[in-house]
Chain A
Amino acid sequence: MIFNLLTILPELSLVLASIFMLIVGVFKEKKQKNAKPVSRAFSLGIYIAFGIFFFAYFYEIWVSHKFHGFSFDGLIASDRMTVIGKVLVLIAASLWIGLKTNSTHAAVLRAGIKVYEYPILSLMVLVGAFLTIASNDFLILFLALELQALPLYIMITSRHESQHSSEAGIKYFIFGSIATAFVLFGAAFLYGYAGTTNFSPFANLLFFTSESVYENMWLDIGFLFLMMGLMIKLAVFPFHSWSFDVYEGSANVQVAFLITVPKISIVFVLIRLMYGPFAQLVPMIQPYILWLCVASIVWGAVGAIKQQNIRRLLAYASVHNIGFILLPISIGSFEGLQISIEYLTVYTLSLIGFFIGVTSLHKDGMNIDKISDLRGLWEHYPKIAILMTICLFSFAGIPPLAGFWVKLHVFRELIKAGMIWPTIIIAFASIVAVFYYLVVIRNIFFEKSESKLSKDTIRFDILMIIGSILALYPLYQESLLRIIEYSLYTV
């Protein structure tokens, strides 16, 4: 069936929910001038409705295979990889919009976001991210990228008291639009080469072509620009400069959203492109991607050392980690793909754990801004201090934690592919990276603070779950890898 609504049930329910919330909210605001800015009842209702839809969808695609394949005339893919991607995006996002954490709510208010539209915008970003993961056509890819980018521009600019917010908004807008234009430019030339914007015919076309695929100029230009556009969005090394300013100008809650949701979805699109339609072209660009990844790992590690601002530090950490996520993809093996998604999962969980801690804390009624603001955390709130330290150690790759194992897998995969020099370089870079995580930990544990740190009520259970997932990683590592392997067979 061409017109299969069930394959886009999660997106559909999110769109309907956001429209409903928008209209109800605007009437409510009209009636009482000081309506609650970020209504938690809304987001909870959405979360329940959405959960029901999602499980129905999950069951249909993952278990019963009834709607496996492509729908909407091949525009939308619904295979197991989309399910894994959407679950990952949902995990990253639900902690910020769905779960009724008081701390998130308070942190949003403290950041100066006083509009009720804020959670609705984040729902729209979610729709965009879902469609990006599921897209099987350049048209849908473009529309989905725009759908997740436009609400993000507005979200970043929506802090009323901060002029840095609008500056970050302008920068993010300009670079985001350039990235989209690059993707489109590439798509135009690929369309010129193949005569179709759908991903599926490309694989056959490239496989059975009589001429050498390396010599077709349209194909090369198209693929190059497509990759460049996606890499600008991911902030890989030569295109990373926007991310620092944008993250610094946003609030912690916004960065937590910004650093996970769009990036996860774009990594999944990259995987789909490089292993579905353009598998024949991957050997051509593989060395370039490899060295770009190595460069961003090194840059992210070295640049972070002298940073004071916590979000700027995390921007460098994100450049560093994106390198680690793309490296196994660039190797070009099936195991590489698995390890990339594994790394992405662990990275997302560590980030969320860290951000739950950071956003719940505040000092003199202000959000945590500098690393030195975390001083005295161990004295006042030892439990949060320990859980945040677990997340940071997982980032750094300290042995018993999840981050260590995934980094080990990346190294193992690189050595297996015979790339000794990149392995040595990134090993040194990750040792440098440990240093700046240790700076944060020193501030948490060993420095005395002048003013008192306070915290909102915090969902310890979620933080505990994330902490134990990261700590007990070797126990279920095999089954996680098996799930990922199973999900990738359909690509």
Chain B
Amino acid sequence: MAIDNYLPILLFIAIATGLACTMLAVSWLRGKRNPYDNKNAPYECGFDPVTKEPGKFDIRFYLVGILFVIFDVEIAFLFPWAVSLGKIGAAGFFSMVLFLAILTFGFIYEWMKGALDWE
């Protein structure tokens, strides 16, 4: 295997780096700057930027994250199913319907349990 197999990757890296640098440079050169205290403060979603004890994390984020991870990753099963749908016939189709039905029951349970309510 020769090194020129990796040429596309090198090109990709070069273009990506170049594009990022160009965008940063243009916004730095052309942008208007109007700094004040609140704008300079570090921002992270869901946090009060100024707290006495840093590192406390709201447990509700964990909960939403946990629920999201499960429903997000199960989607991965849908892709191979969708690609091969023509070949696997009715049995394959209804297997996935069953799977999604079980997932829906899980969702109903989670909803009724109040896991999706923020307060």
Contacts and interface: CB of A to CB of B under 8 A. Distances in A.
Contacts of B113: 26
A30 interface: yes
A23 B102 CA distance: 11
A22 interface: yes
B105 interface: yes
B91 A26 contact: no
B63 to A, nearest CB: 15
A26 B102 contact: no
B109 interface: yes
Interface in B96-119: 102, 105, 108-109, 112-113
Interface string A414-433: 00000000000000000000
Contacts of A439: none
Interface in A9-30: 19, 22-23, 26-27, 29-30
B108 A23 contact: yes
Nearest to B92: A3
Contact of A27 (B102, B105, B112): B112
Nearest to B98: A15
A29 B113 CA distance: 9
Interface residues of B, number: 7
A22 B109 CA distance: 7
Contacts of A19: 102, 105
A95 B58 CA distance: 41
Instruction: Provide the main secondary structure of the chain A interface.
Output: helix
Contacts of B109: 22-23, 26
A30 B112 contact: yes
A477 B34 CA distance: 90
A3 B112 contact: no
B91 A22 contact: no
Nearest to B102: A19
Interface in A294-323: none
Contacts of B102: 19
A27 B109 CA distance: 9
Contacts of B91: 3
Looking at A3, A19, A29, A30, the one whose CB has the most chain B CB atoms below 10 A away is A19
Nearest to B112: A26
B62 to A, nearest CB: 15
Nearest to B110: A26
Contacts of B108: 23, 26
Contacts of A3: 91
A115 to B, nearest CB: 11
A30 B113 CA distance: 8
Interface string B8-20: 0000000000000
A73 B20 CA distance: 51
A26 B105 CA distance: 11
A225 B48 CA distance: 48
Interface string B43-71: 00000000000000000000000000000
B20 to A, nearest CB: 37
Given A3-B91, A27-B112, 13 more contacts: A19-B102, A19-B105, A22-B105, A22-B109, A23-B105, A23-B108, A23-B109, A26-B108, A26-B109, A26-B112, A26-B113, A29-B112, A30-B112
Interface of B: 91, 102, 105, 108-109, 112-113
15 contacts: A3-B91, A19-B102, A19-B105, A22-B105, A22-B109, A23-B105, A23-B108, A23-B109, A26-B108, A26-B109, A26-B112, A26-B113, A27-B112, A29-B112, A30-B112
